[in-house]
Structure 1
């Protein structure tokens, strides 16, 4: 069949007709007619040619068998690499195997019709632009639920690595989970959360408090009012239908994060990934320099965002040196342990709350959100209100626009 197909291709390239006679003559000139089954076999194939009514199903059968052959080939390569690992670690071999199988699955899902005349693309493009112009704030990525942040970023873009950085207790996890809640509950986007600092039960409890606006101290102590229970049930109802998936395994490697993310995308689809937090990840092997290790982690997260075509939100700690300055607002050089984070990230968001350092400040509950870097957009600063009792950020309405960053 391969010989016959190649002969048909040769004839098509020469603009010659295709039938049992022309294909047979072409094979005979190449001295391959007998290997292809002879003229009688060609005639039998023509006699058994199916109609065009089920052509899509026939094409599907061909594609399925092609995928099976690819699986057989990849399976052999995987077995060979396992027998002769050449010093590579098991995790690396597993990642390579999963990547190759994932590529087969992705190719099997692709559907393309080849060239499309530009005249047929004009109207869909105009319709797309019209829809974007009518969308709220011109959001082209995943909406965060915070209007000022969405205005600056146009949403979290697919393929981008977004780093949320701050000193301890600033609210990094709270902001990331609030964004995840909005994506999953507000827009039904499957969201994977790698929580390496908190167990999944604690993450779920935070979400209940945030979504239902239930005081976290009530949730921890169990001293709940009737109103609390009403809010808890409402939050639980929303969460039970939200495609949020939490993985609380500690100290994951980039290879493990990538493998688990691929699996989540295959099984449930994927709209966004959250990693809490970057410095708690590990790299297998004998890397002794922590800065080099962090560099490899940040590069792998950027690569993951590109591969799965989703925004990856990674939390990061800041250096202690920020505590030694009078102005403790974070800057790029405060990113902990590696300048590679600054290079790899498409967007870097700093969180600063003055009340963490000054309990007497009149700006309690006010958080400065600083966009320190945006590869394809502007930087800037805006305010959010921090509701610590609910582990929640909300849009901020300043009492006096002449104060703070507005002045």
Structure 2
């Protein structure tokens, strides 16, 4: 807790922010109105970070800064692939600095996936070495594009909340990251070890939301769904919030 508070204090000094505990609404209205006016002038349907999925972006206006977004699914359903595709689009196409915390896959695996996605090369063919000359050309071009993209990867296993927050603050100060991806929530360690894993995950999710608000970034957390969704009838497989594994108070 002391380390976390100290780093938060240092970050605030670096950003030269002055925190006011209570603000009258009159002081907030000018900036809010200016923001609304800017939206009116632009008339863009995406006001946050674009994901590359047009229909989703139209519905949500993109991932908004200060929000905690949960991507949930059962194992091997493509959660990481979806998150990486969003990270690639945001960083390559929108030039949005992205930080990826991968507690499940090694950083080399993530780079492989990003290369295949950018090059439109079959990942299985790459893993067994069956690449054509055209594939090599595409991969080389993709490597050049990704090398210039503002993507930062940390694959520290079993990372704790304090360490994650410290690294996010550092990358925010150094590279002005706008989005952080956490893969995945159930592999994180809480600030305090607890016999109640549900309570621990709840504390982790609250910490991630607080981090999103503190840094003014979008935090995307990948989460597993419980087996309950598979036990329901075939016509009732649509996930519910209660299906979030060890969800507690997401």
Compute the TM-score of the two structures, normalised by the length of structure 2: 0.90
SS, match of residue 340 in structure 1: coil
SS, match of residue 232 in structure 1: helix
SS, match of residue 166 in structure 2: helix
Alignment partner, residue 203 of structure 2 = 296
SS, match of residue 16 in structure 2: helix
* Residues matched between the structures, number: 241
How many Å apart are 1:128 and its aligned residue? 4.1
Deviations 1:225-265 (A, max 9, x none): 10110110111111010000000001111111110000001
Residues 307 and 217 from structure 1, CA distance in 2 versus in 1: closer, same or farther, beyond 3 angstroms? same
How many Å apart are 1:127 and its aligned residue? 4.9
Partners in 1 of 2:149 and 2:219 — Cα distance? 19
CA contact (8 A) 2:193 2:200 kept: no
Partners in 2 of 1:175 and 1:295 — Cα distance? 24
Residues 309 and 214 from structure 1, CA distance in 2 versus in 1: closer, same or farther, beyond 3 angstroms? same
How many Å apart are 1:333 and its aligned residue? 1.4
Partners in 1 of 2:90 and 2:112 — Cα distance? 18
- Is 1:149 the equivalent of 2:60? no
How many Å apart are 1:329 and its aligned residue? 2.2
Select the residue among 308, 326, 331 that pairs with 2:240: 331
Select the residue among 222, 227, 231 that pairs with 1:315: 222
* RMSD over aligned Cα atoms: 2.3
Alignment partner, residue 182 of structure 1 = 89
How many Å apart are 1:121 and its aligned residue? 10
Alignment partner, residue 6 of structure 2 = 97
How many Å apart are 1:93 and its aligned residue? 2.2
Residues 266 and 109 from structure 1, CA distance in 2 versus in 1: closer, same or farther, beyond 3 angstroms? farther
| More relative contact order, 1 or 2 (CA 8 Å, 6+ apart) | 2
Alignment partner, residue 130 of structure 1 = 41
Deviations 1:338-394 (A, max 9, x none): 2311xxxxxxxxxxxxxxxxxxxxxxxxxxxxxxxxxxxxxxxxxxxxxxxxxxxxx
CA contact (8 A) 2:4 2:162 kept: yes
Deviations 1:78-111 (A, max 9, x none): xxxxxxxxxxxxxx2221211111111122699x
Structure 2 unaligned residues grouped into runs of 5+: 20-25
Structure 1 unaligned residues grouped into runs of 5+: 1-91, 342-407
CA contact (8 A) 2:98 2:178 kept: yes
Residues 324 and 189 from structure 1, CA distance in 2 versus in 1: closer, same or farther, beyond 3 angstroms? same
How many Å apart are 1:271 and its aligned residue? 1.2
Residues 324 and 263 from structure 1, CA distance in 2 versus in 1: closer, same or farther, beyond 3 angstroms? same
Question: Once superposed, which parts of structure 1, at least 4 consecutive aligned residues long, lie more than 3 Å away?
Answer: 118-128
Compute the TM-score of the two structures, normalised by the length of structure 1: 0.56
Partners in 2 of 1:303 and 1:230 — Cα distance? 44
How many Å apart are 1:221 and its aligned residue? 1.5
Residues 151 and 259 from structure 1, CA distance in 2 versus in 1: closer, same or farther, beyond 3 angstroms? same
CA radius of gyration, larger in? 1
- Is 1:216 the equivalent of 2:123? yes
How many Å apart are 1:223 and its aligned residue? 2.3
Alignment partner, residue 236 of structure 1 = 143
How many Å apart are 1:124 and its aligned residue? 8.3
